[in-house]
Amino acid sequence: MASAVAGPEIERLIQLLARLPGLGPRSARRAALHLIKKREQLMVPLASALEAASEKITVCRVCGNIDSQNPCTVCTDPRRDPSVIVVVADVADLWALER
């Protein structure tokens, strides 16, 4: 087993980044190094955005979308016809349709 090259905080950051889709251990290590090198420009704002998202994002009680308001932006859009529904498997599919 390879030994840790960095302290526990950095190793934890790498482990958590590696859990994201599309990021393996090597990509997570590169992302962590980039965040650390660009602490003020990237890491601090990212940490703030993650904290705000964790506190404010909720599931829409009408459609199941995720948003910072409830009902969500899609459901409260006055241009929408409330008699028409679209069934999607995942929120990512909804976002793709909304583009």
User: Could you report the per-residue pLDDT of 25-70, keeping only the tens digit for each?
Assistant: 999 999 999 999 999 999 999 999 999 999 999 999 999 999 999 9
Other CB atoms within a 10 A radius of the CB of residue 14 amount to 22
Q: Provide mean pLDDT across the span 81-89.
A: 89
pTM of the model: 0.74
Check whether 79 has a pLDDT greater than 90.
Answer: yes
Q: What is the CATH number of domain 1-56?
A: 1.10.8.420
Specify the pLDDT at position 6: 80
What CA–CA distance (Å, rounded) separates 75 from 30?
Answer: 39
Q: Where in the chain is the domain with CATH 1.10.8.420?
A: 1-56
Specify the pLDDT at position 3: 57
